[in-house]
Amino acid sequence: MKAALAVLLLALPVAGLSTGTGESRFAGLPGGPFKSALNYEDLAGTDTRVAPFELMRKPVTNADFLAFVKQHPQWQRDQVPAVLAEQRYLSHWKSPTTLGDDAEPGQPVTWVSWFAADAYCASIDARLPTWAEWEYAAAADELRRDARKDPAWRERILGWYSRPSNTALPRAGLQAANAYGIHDLHGLVWEWTDDYSSMLVDADARNQGDPDNARFCGAGALSMDDRDNYAVLMRVAMLSALDGVDATANLGFRCARSVP
Partner 1 sequence: MKSLMRFVQSSMLVLLLAAPLAAMAADTPLPRDSVYHLALPLTGQDGVTRDWSTRRGKPQVVSMFYTSCQYICPLIVDAGKAIEHSLTPEQRSRLGIVLVSMDPARDDPAALMKVVDQRKLDTSRWWLATPAPEDVRSVAGVLGIRYRALADGEFNHTSAIVLLDAEGRIVARTERLGSQADPEFVAAARKLLGD
Query: If we measure between CA atoms, which residue out of 197, 75, 56, 28 comes closest to residue 126?
Result: 56
User: Residue 45 or residue 164: which is nearer to partner 1 going by CB?
Assistant: 45
Paired strand residues for 48 = 34
Instruction: Report in angstroms how near the CB of residue 46 gets to partner 1 at its nearest.
Output: 8
- We find the least distance from the C-beta atom of residue 134 to partner 1, in angstroms, to be 15
CA atoms of 235 and 114, how far apart (whole Å): 15
- Is 157 among the residues that bind partner 1 (CB under 8 A)? no
Q: Could you say whether residue 215 binds partner 1 (CB under 8 A)?
A: yes
The reply to whether 42 sits near partner 1 by the rule CB under 8 A is yes
Q: Residue 17, interface with partner 1 (CB under 8 A)?
A: no
9 binds partner 1 (CB under 8 A): no
Closest approach of partner 1 to the CB of residue 170, in Å: 30
Q: Over the range 109-144, which residues count as b (16 or more CB within 10 Å of their CB) and which as e? A: bbbbbbbbbbbbbebbebbbbbbbbbbbbbbbbeee
Question: Is 244 a residue that touches partner 1 (CB under 8 A)?
Answer: yes
Site for partner 1 in 105-134 (CB under 8 A): 114-115, 118
Residue 253 burial (10 A CB sphere; 0-12, 13-18, 19+): buried
Stretch that binds partner 1, among 8-16, 98-106, 137-145, 190-198 (CB under 8 A): 190-198
Can residue 7 be called a binding residue for partner 1 (CB under 8 A)? Answer: no
169 contacts: CB under 8 Å, gap ≥ 6: 107, 108, 110, 188, 189, 250
Phi and psi angles of residue 254, each rounded to the nearest 5 degrees, phi first = -140, 165
- What does the binding site for partner 1 look like in residue numbers (CB under 8 A)? 40, 42-43, 46, 81-84, 114-115, 118, 194-195, 197-200, 215-221, 243-245
